[in-house]
């Protein structure tokens, strides 16, 4: 009897003459025949997406790729200027900001919606039933003094422009499922429970749409990270062409107020 450990995988392997990815010959069956976003979906789920799922997935990746000079983009640029020989470090530094506050909302929203649906005795069918489920979920957040994931935005206070567009695309693609319906219901009922009207934000609608498009909730932050990698590369390419990180550093440095600690 062998005590050979054995590490099972279904991702990739190779031998002298071929490379296998997801059970397919990379050179003969995948290169030129599958798109990059399609492959990313497949890698994460071990299932090739349907055209409708792919359309939503690709739209979400585009939606989340960048949002300007975010803290993560600034961190990536500052890291690049300090260690320009190691681009991977600058990308990694940018991704490390992909936690609860910024990129985490997509996953939080997906998990929140999935949990509400999973706990229900029976799945809601009508809008009225989704509204009722939404009322319970929002009220529980209020009672536990938690924010409702996907609700509210510091800038787009009167409506996030991404939200209706993604809902429309998901609908056209036949991917308007229970997570998006529950998310929309939250948009309808939360004012009566919270006493104020907040927008359904873009990160949240992305989480809902990804869940309807077949991505497991625990991978949604990963989708956001993939999207953001493209955005960070955009910032780093721009930093190479027209640097600003040093000017940012100087602007900070010039405005430091030193307060000597006691002792």
Nearest to a second copy of 72, 189 (CB atom)? 72
Interface with a second copy, residue 139, by CB under 8 A: no
**Cβ at position 50, least distance to a second copy in Å:** 11
Contact 104, 221 (CB under 8 A): yes
Which residues fall within 8 angstroms of residue 167, CB to CB, at 6 or more apart? 176, 180, 184, 205, 209
Q: Which of 52, 53, 79, 176 binds a second copy (CB under 8 A)?
A: 79
User: Does 234 interact with a second copy (rule: CB under 8 A)?
Assistant: yes
Identity of the residue, 82 or 194, whose beta carbon is nearer to a second copy in the bound complex: 82
Half-sphere exposure of 40 (CA within 13 A, CB side): 18
Residue 104 contacts a second copy per CB under 8 A: yes
Q: In the Cβ-directed half-sphere of 134, how many Cα atoms lie within 13 Å?
A: 28
Report the nearest approach of a second copy to the CB of residue 95 (Å).
5
Residue 111 within binding range of a second copy, rule CB under 8 A:
no
Q: What phi, psi does 149 have (nearest 5°)?
A: -60, 130
Which tokens belong to 103?
């990129």
- Rounded to a whole number of angstroms, the distance between the first and last alpha carbons of the chain is 67
Per CB under 8 A, contacts with a second copy among 149-168 are 155-159, 161-162, 164-166
| Binds a second copy by CB under 8 A, chosen from 53, 100, 188, 203 | 100
Dist CA 221 CA 151 (whole Å): 17
Asked if 23 interacts with a second copy (CB under 8 A), we say yes
**Binding status of residue 121 toward a second copy by CB under 8 A:** no
> Do 24 and 30 meet the contact criterion of CB atoms below 8 Å apart?
yes
180 binds a second copy, rule: CB under 8 A: no
**Is 58 a residue that touches a second copy (CB under 8 A)?**
yes
Q: Which helix (H) or strand (E) holds 205?
A: helix 202-212
Judged by CB under 8 A, does residue 50 bind a second copy? no
Does residue 218 touch a second copy according to CB under 8 A?
Answer: yes
Residue 263 sits in the site that holds a second copy (CB under 8 A): yes
* DSSP string over 50-93: PHHHHHHHHHHHHHHS--SS-HHHHHHHHHHHH-TT-HHHHHHH
Report how many residues bind a second copy under the rule CB under 8 A. Answer: 131
Query: Of 123 and 168, which has the nearer Cβ to a second copy?
Result: 168
Contact 101, 247 (CB under 8 A): no
Comparison of 18 and 125: residue with beta carbon closer to a second copy: 18
Question: Counting contacts by CB under 8 A, is residue 201 touching a second copy?
Answer: no
Under the binding rule (CB under 8 A), the answer on residue 249 touching a second copy is yes
């Amino acid at each position: 009897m062998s005590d050979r450990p054995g590490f099972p995988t279904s991702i990739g392997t190779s031998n002298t003459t071929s490379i296998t990815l997801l059970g397919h010959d990379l050179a003969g069956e995948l290169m030129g025949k599958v798109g990059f976003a399609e492959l990313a979906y497949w890698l994460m789920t071990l299932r090739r997406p349907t055209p409708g799922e792919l359309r939503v997935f690709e739209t979400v990746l585009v939606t989340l790729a960048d949002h300007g000079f975010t803290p993560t983009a600034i961190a990536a640029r500052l890291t690049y200027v300090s260690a320009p020989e190691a681009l991977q470090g600058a990308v990694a530094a940018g991704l490390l900001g992909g936690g609860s506050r910024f990129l985490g909302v997509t996953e939080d929203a997906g998990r929140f919606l999935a949990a509400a649906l999973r706990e229900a005795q029976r799945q809601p069918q009508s809008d009225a039933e989704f509204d009722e489920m939404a009322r319970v979920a929002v009220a529980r957040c209020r009672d536990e003094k938690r924010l409702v994931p996907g609700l509210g935005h510091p800038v787009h206070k009167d409506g996030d422009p991404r939200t209706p567009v993604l809902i429309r695309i998901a609908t056209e693609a036949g991917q308007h499922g229970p997570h998006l319906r529950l998310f929309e219901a939250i948009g309808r009922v939360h004012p009566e429970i919270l006493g104020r009207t907040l927008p359904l934000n873009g990160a949240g609608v992305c989480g809902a749409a990804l869940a309807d498009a077949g991505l497991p909730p625990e991978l949604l932050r990963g989708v956001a990270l993939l999207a953001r990698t493209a955005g960070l590369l955009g910032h780093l390419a721009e930093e190479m062409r027209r640097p600003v990180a040093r000017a940012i550093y100087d602007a900070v440095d010039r405005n430091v107020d030193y307060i000597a600690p006691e002792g």
